[in-house]
Amino acid sequence: MKSMADYREHFPIFENKIYINSCSYAALSNEVENAFLRYLKDRHTLGADWIDWCDRLERVRALFAELLSAKSDEIAVTTSASASLSAVSSSLDFSGPRKKIITTDLAFPTEAQAWHALKKHGAEVVHVKEKNGLIDLDDLTKLADERTLLVAVPLVCYRNGALTDIPAIRNIVRKAGAMILVDAYQGVGAVPIDVAEWDVDFIVGGSLKYLLSTAGVGFLYVREAIIKKSQPTQTGWFAQEDIHAMLIHDNIPAGTARRFEQGTPCVPNLYAVEAGLQFILEVGVKNIRSHVAALNERLKVGVSKIGGKLMSPLNPDHHGAMITVASTDDYALVERLAKQNIIASCRDSNLRISAHFYNNNADIDAVIEALSENKDLLA
């Protein structure tokens, strides 16, 4: 059985850098690089191989399903989380009494923007406030009512790393008779997800962060019971029941979540995503969560010792893989760390430090030491 140290050797960037920025983009493994090269080789030798490419799409669909403990028929493979959100938003019906969409003040911009764009169709969009960096459940309870159509929440907030209690949210939403969507992008691959335990209607995410691959491929989980009730109008030929029928006088969507797909998939990136998902499933998300939790406890203690201000919740059950530290100039701090060969990122005046299974204690200690040397930029 491989150790996390063994897996680290698959990521060449650690020969020269301390990469702790998986919340933005994953480190590149040899396996994912080789997958890209296989695509190029196939293009040179075969030109086009649509049979294999369609088979690869189905393999990626199955891997996403395994990751979420879902059925393959509940998974749409999209080009991004934004495309997934757009497909969902195009399926919503505002002709009835339920016209309210509830999002949160912790939402990633694309998620909230997708709902606000629906105002022209009669949607009423409201935001749940945050309380101590988390979703205010009391505020959600007040807002969720018989007029609510959909509630959308992030699994992990991109600004502060806060982890949402999905079952608690779901219980409030179900009591109001509404649907629930989870934006899992900042958590999938780092936080275990089981759709049976969550019992939500939609989950969106993508592959470039903790799933190790690249932009250009996203996913959408749709609960089986609502698939055939959903009629997305943002569609394409890969959303049809028979892709090869080449219909132009009708729209006959697939009977699976594939009806939320659109045009030709991003073929080169399917190679990379397949390799990345296989890697994550080999390591195991539960193992990843445990490994990163230990690193983050070391980080939180170290940051506190040097007088830094942690902006993520202190309770390890209330944050994902990302830990945030307040800064007086977050962009300057990221730049200084880069000069010390430490790659991190920032949002909302917070330095974002996001470990993955390929990080180790030495990485965390180096980050703490660098922050100590740059205390003038800590809030």
pLDDT greater than 90 at residue 1: no
* pLDDT band, residue 178 (cuts 50/70/90): very high
pLDDT at 318 over 80: yes
Query: CATH 3.90.1150.10: which residues of the chain?
Result: 4-28+284-377
Give the per-residue pLDDT at 49. Answer: 95
Q: Which pLDDT does position 166 carry in this prediction?
A: 98
The mean pLDDT of 319-343, rounded to a whole number, is 98
CATH architecture group of domain 33-280:
3-Layer(aba) Sandwich (3.40)
Percent of the chain with pLDDT over 90: 98
pLDDT recorded at residue 138: 97
Provide the b/e sequence for 37-67 (b: ≥16 CB within 10 Å): eebeebeeeeeeeeeebbebbebbbebbbeb
What pLDDT score was predicted for residue 47? 96
For residue 271, pLDDT over 80 is answered with yes
Domain with CATH 3.40.640.10 in the chain: 33-280
pLDDT classification of 129: cutoffs 50, 70, 90: very high
pLDDT for 136-158, tens place per residue? 999 999 999 999 999 999 999 99
Q: Which CATH superfamily is domain 4-28+284-377 in?
A: Aspartate Aminotransferase, domain 1 (3.90.1150.10)
What's the pTM value of the predicted model, to 2 decimals?
Answer: 0.96
pLDDT tier, 75 (very low <50, low <70, confident <90, very high otherwise): very high
Query: Using CA atoms, how far apart are residues 158 and 58, in angstroms rounded to an integer?
Result: 30
**pLDDT at residue 258, as a whole number:** 98
